[in-house]
Structures are given as structure tokens and as C-alpha cells.
Amino acid sequence: MKCFSINLVVLIGVVTFSNAQAQQPVVISQQLEQKVIEWRRHLHQHPELSNREFNTAKVIAEHLNGLGLEVQTGIAHTGVVGVLIGGKPGPTIALRADMDALPVIEQTDIPFKSIAKSEYRSNEVGVMHACGHDLHMAMLMGAAEKLSSMKNDIAGTIVFIFQPAEEGAPKGEEGGAELMLKEGLFTQHQPDVVFGIHVWSAGNTGHIGYREGPLMASSDRFEITVKGQQTHGSSPWGGVDPIVAAGQIIGSTQTIVSRQVNITKAPAVISFGIVEGGVRNNIIPDEVYLEGTIRNFDMGNRAQIFKNLKTTAEMTAKATGAEAHVHIDEGYPVTINDIDLTRKMLPTIERVTGKDKVHVNDLVTGAEDFSFFALEVPGLFVFLGITPEGEDTKSAPSNHSPFFYADEKALKTGTELYINWALDYAKL
């Protein structure tokens, strides 16, 4: 009995040691980390706008080809996809990074700052990776290199998605995640899950913000043309005043969120950003143009807001004798993290970063077209902090700022998170 007890203790010790070993995350070497930094700097110095990422795509495709992956180019204009088939059977896991930059003139003083210029809306503009997509690409390139070196030990297939036009395709064009799916990305490579990372200045370097369920809002644009009948401002009864009607529409639409939608499900916002009408102080014009944005975190509420906005605008205008014509341009859906997947992969995030650097994120009213991927298969999308430790994140230049700055120490964390998500999910 005593001997049995001793052996049991030894056995328990061995099992505990094995489990502890299994819990250790895969890390990248200093050499690979330096390569990731160099890729990031090159991409940062040579940014390209949405649907125009031609040289960016070439750099990525050459890298993936060099790793021996199956590579497809030209998806959604400039998208690149690399496929790594592991040496063992298992699930198909998609890892996504976005590629495009913004029409922003960079005002940082980093040695590899962008001085690139391009055309946007028929105007010459500066171009800058002001949202960190250069980091996203570099991290995923690093993950592809590390995982390729482990090919024989990998269970399943890993699909590396480099997606163009996340910031939105130019007017009159299609692009981004929606077009990649439309062109059959998930038909040809049907993943079981999809993972994505976005760097942001609201977190300190290496910190991860995550959230179960809705994380980022849907983003939809609406236009309302209010038609009246022009008349002299001194005798408004001689026509129909679209300005008065437009003013009442602006006020009435605020009751959609405050009175008509169940906001206990999730918050929502309707904001007007453009009000245009009239040419002279004493002329009541024929029409007024309104434009705004809708943000919300529940797909059911989203559909109801669309319906109620149209009804409210049309009926309010009709009550004044005017007409309202409503057009809603559906943008990005709600970015929803699959609850089960998030809970299963949270231990991986904590092992890579340390529990003290993992936080539940507030809802974000910004939008992301990763949402299209996550509506097709279970998805997990997180924020990676890039403001140096010790600096106040509240005063750090935000994403899309010409002063946007990213601490490159975060690249190691993001690269290792991609790697360990892929490896750990295959073990579930």
C-alpha cells in the first residue's frame, strides 16, 4: 500500500509536468521577430489605398511562395491567400490580416515614415498606414513563416488571408471581405473558424482586449432627400418648405433609438453628418439633402432601424406636405465574436500575453469588415495594444490620426497569438 502511494505520487508528478509543458506557448525567435519588424517598416513606408494594393500584394505573395504554400492572388482585386496543409488531419483554420492604407499625410518623425502619394476622389493625397494594417500583415507573414517550419507536425489546414480594402472600396467599386466571399473564398477554403487581430492605441503594448458576442458596431450610411416646392421666404404658404420638414425628420428620427428599438439588447446610434439645402436667405428651396450614419450592435435591431427610419422620414415629411426619399447603403455588419470559440481560446490568449494583460473590452462603435467572415463561420477578433507601457493611452494619437504611432514590441505578441491560435484550436 505504501509502495502504491509512492508510485501514484510519482505518476501524478509526471502527468502534471507533461501538462505544464503542453501549456507553454510557441514563441518566435529574435531572428524572426526582426524580420517581422523589417516587413512592417517596408510596408509602412510603401502604403497603398483600398483596391490599389498592387505592390503590397506582390511582397506578400512572394513571401508565401517562398515558404512553399499554395498561393492565390487577385482575389477581390488585390487579395492574397496562402494555404498550408499540415502533415496530420485536422480542422481548417483561417487567419486574417488587412492590407490597405488611408488617405492621410503622415506627420510622425519615424525614419521609415511614408511620403507616398496617390489619388483619392480625383485629388492627390498623402497615403499612410494610419490604422496599423502594416503591422497586421507583418504579423501574419511572420506566423506563416513559423507555422510553415512546423508543417509536418500541424494538424489540419491553415488559410492565411491577406484582405484588401478593409477601409472601404472606392466609390463605384466592390471590395474587401464581402467581395472575397462573393468570389468564393470560403467555398474553396471552408474554414471551421476564423481569427483576426487589430492593433489600437487605446491599449498599452502587448495588452489584449477581447469581448464575447458583439464587439464592434455595424456601420451603415443613409441618405434622405426631402422634396418640397420652392417659394419666396416672405410667403412660405406659397410652396412647401423642405427645410422645416428636414428639421422635423432630424428630430423625429431620434425617437427610433429612444422609443422604438429595444435598447436593452444593445445600444444604437443614429447621427446626421450632412445637411444641405438652399442658396439664398429669402428663398425656400425645392429640396434638402440629409446624410448620416447608423451604428448598432444587434443584427435584429439593425433591420428594425432601417425599416423605422424609412417610415419615420416619409411620414414626417408627408405631414408637412413634402416628400422624403430614403436610401440606406448597408455597410459592415456587427462584428460578433463567437461565444464558445472565445471561451475556448481565452486560455491561449492568456498564455501568450500573460493573464494580467488580458482585459474585457468595451463595445466599440467603430466597424470592421472582418464581420463578414465571422457571419459565415465562428470568429474571434481582438484588439492588440500598441501604445508603449507607461504612456497614457487616452492621450495617444488614435487610429486614423496622422500622428498614429505603433510600438513595434507588440509585433511579437501578435505574431505569436496567430501561431498559437492555429496550433491550439487544432488540439480541441
Cα–Cα distance for residue pair 67/61, rounded to 1 Å: 10
The reported pLDDT for the residue numbered 22 is: 52
**16-44: average pLDDT:** 83
Cα–Cα distance for residue pair 98/200, rounded to 1 Å: 14
The reported pLDDT for the residue numbered 332 is: 98
Cα–Cα distance for residue pair 255/36, rounded to 1 Å: 50
The reported pLDDT for the residue numbered 23 is: 77
**306-328: average pLDDT:** 98
pLDDT per residue as tens digits for the range 222-271: 999 999 999 999 999 999 999 999 999 999 999 999 999 999 999 999 99
Q: What percent of the chain has pLDDT over 90?
A: 94
Radius of gyration of the chain (CA): 25
pLDDT at 12 > cutoff 50:
no
**Domains defined along the chain, listed by start:** 28-217+334-425 (3.40.630.10), 218-332 (3.30.70.360)
Q: Provide the grid cell at 234.
A: 416672405
Q: Provide the grid cell at 301.
A: 435591431
pLDDT per residue as tens digits for the range 180-189: 999 999 999 9
Please state, rounded to an integer, the average pLDDT across all residues of the chain. Answer: 94
pLDDT at 208 > cutoff 60:
yes
- Write down how long the chain is: 428
pLDDT per residue as tens digits for the range 153-194: 999 999 999 999 999 999 999 999 999 999 999 999 999 999
CA dihedral 95, 101, 102, 103 (to 10 degrees): -160
Phi and psi (nearest 5°) for 100?
Answer: -85, 155
Sign of the dihedral defined by the CA atoms of residues 367, 368, 373, 379, in that order: negative
Which residue blocks in 81-200 are alpha helix, DSSP H?
133-148, 176-182, 185-188
Would you please indicate which residues are annotated as catalytic (active-site) residues? 332, 408
pLDDT per residue as tens digits for the range 261-285: 999 999 999 999 999 999 999 999 9
Could you write out the DSSP letters of every residue in 342-410? HHHHHHHHHHHH-GGGEEEPPPB-S--THHHHHHHS-EEEEEEEEEPTTS-TTTSPPTT-TT----TTH
